[in-house]
Amino acid sequence: MNPAAAPDPFDTAAVRAATLESWRSSPTRLAEDIAAETDLVTVGYRDRLLTELAANAADAAAVAGEPGELAVWLSGRELHVANTGAPLTVEGVRSLSALRVSA
């Protein structure tokens, strides 16, 4: 399947466009987001990334009311993480594309 032709059920194209427009219209906002992302990587999630992903998987299983499963694997230089549980929602995808926002 051609990824460019794949459906966009979460309207990620609109989320991306809105984010890019906010950065274009406010270089200060861009600088703030860069600083916040840097803090998140170097302080907030440092040495905790897999723990945070496992917690998210547990939350998704709890929402779905079912036992959860988490799979983590490397494919070359790519890290893949998948879990069972409640599927992503539009609000969940939007929160993933923002800093310090939880659906």
Report pLDDT digits (tens) over 2-13. 556 678 899 999
**For residue 1, pLDDT beyond 60:** no
Q: How many domains does the chain have?
A: 1
Q: Is residue 63 part of a domain?
A: yes
Residue range(s) defining the domain that contains residue 17: 10-96
Residues 26-55: pLDDT tens digits?
999 999 999 998 988 888 777 888 898 899
Residue 2 within any structural domain of the chain: no
pLDDT of the residue at 4: 62
In a domain, residue 16? The reply is yes
8 Å CB contact between 87 and 103: no
Residue 88 lies in a domain: yes
Q: How far apart are the first and last CA of the chain?
A: 30
Phi, psi of 30 (to 5 degrees): -60, -45
Amino acid 37: pLDDT? 87
- Crossing angle of helices 12-25 and 27-39, in 10° steps, is 110
Please report whether residue 89 resides in a domain. yes
